[in-house]
Amino acid sequence: MYQLTQALFPTRARRAVLEAFFGPGARAATVSELARRADLTPRAVSVEVKRLLAAGVVEVEAEGAADRVRSNPRHPAARALRELLRKASSVPGRSLADPRPSLAAYGAPLAGVEPRVEMSREAAVVEALAESRGDATLLRILPVVLLKNEADFDWDALLDLAKRRKLKDELGMMLELTAEASGRRSLGKRSAGLADGRRRVPRYLPEPASNYERALADQRTPAVARRWGLRMNMTEESVREFVRKHLA
């Protein structure tokens, strides 16, 4: 199921939300319940629920202090989504979509994640960059992974994979930001050749859930991230402190 849904719905949060409401065994849930069930942050789930709500494919009903979300059976796409996910569940194949067990095995400080090598260092980092569009935790831990594994990466393979996944800016920014935060200039030099200067509209990591979050990201984004056309709700000093804490 997961290899097919990974291709169709590229972020883990989006897959989890769609499968929760349209996949086999679908049932209504609050954002907090779904976050616990899928091992995601409530914010990542909330962003995807808001997108589905705007599209009309889910409904929200107040339940005490929380909102319970369920699929909208009257939406024209509801039957097609259920059928797609039903058929996808019968397709064999193991997911490589979640990079966190592998990242934990490579030294990422991820609480509650069992370290388990399921993918290469290069694939885990690139998958984490892709998932960081919906999960700020992955964005925060990547400098630690890069620093702990610098000598073990196949750098040609990592850069090639980032280019093929259209994540050149994200990887280049992360390399330079890690270099700035840690003082390890060798990482910054590895970003050479990744920038193409074509980005005109900033990309947010993760995508803001509100105008307030967007404004915070605009305010806090490190200068190095701005140079790559990216925005994040994370200052360079906070990255530096996180690196110091976990590499001490």
Q: Return d(Cα 6, Cα 4) in angstroms, integer.
A: 5
- 21 and 47 co-located in one domain: yes
State pLDDT tens for residues 150-184: 999 999 999 999 998 889 999 999 999 999 999 99
State pLDDT tens for residues 57-89: 899 888 777 889 999 989 998 888 888 877 766
Domain holding 25: CATH number? 1.10.10.10
Q: What is the mean pLDDT of residues 27-55?
A: 84
Q: Please, how many CA atoms are within 13 Å of residue 87, restricted to the half-sphere of its CB?
A: 6
Determine, yes or no, domain membership for 63: yes
Taken as a whole, the chain contains a residue count of 248
% of the chain beyond a pLDDT of 70: 90
State pLDDT tens for residues 119-143: 899 999 999 999 888 888 999 999 9
Q: Is the dihedral of CA 148, 193, 157, 204 positive or negative?
A: positive
Q: Tell me which residue range forms the domain holding 71.
A: 2-88
Q: What is the pLDDT of residue 96?
A: 43
Residue finishing a domain among 36, 53, 88: 88
In the block, residue with structure tokens 């808001």: 50
Determine, yes or no, domain membership for 118: yes
- 211 and 235 co-located in one domain: yes
Average pLDDT for the chain: 86
Please indicate, yes or no, whether the overall pTM of this predicted structure exceeds 0.85.
no
Residue finishing a domain among 55, 88, 121: 88
- 25 and 130 co-located in one domain: no
- 65 and 161 co-located in one domain: no
State pLDDT tens for residues 184-195: 999 999 998 887
Determine, yes or no, domain membership for 94: no
The tally of domains found in the chain comes to 2
Determine, yes or no, domain membership for 204: yes
Q: What does 196-242 look like in DSSP terms, one character per residue?
A: -S---S-EESS--SSHHHHHHHHHH--HHHHHTTEE-S--HHHHHHH
- 171 and 207 co-located in one domain: yes
Phi, psi of 60 (to 5 degrees): -125, 130
Determine, yes or no, domain membership for 186: yes
- 17 and 112 co-located in one domain: no
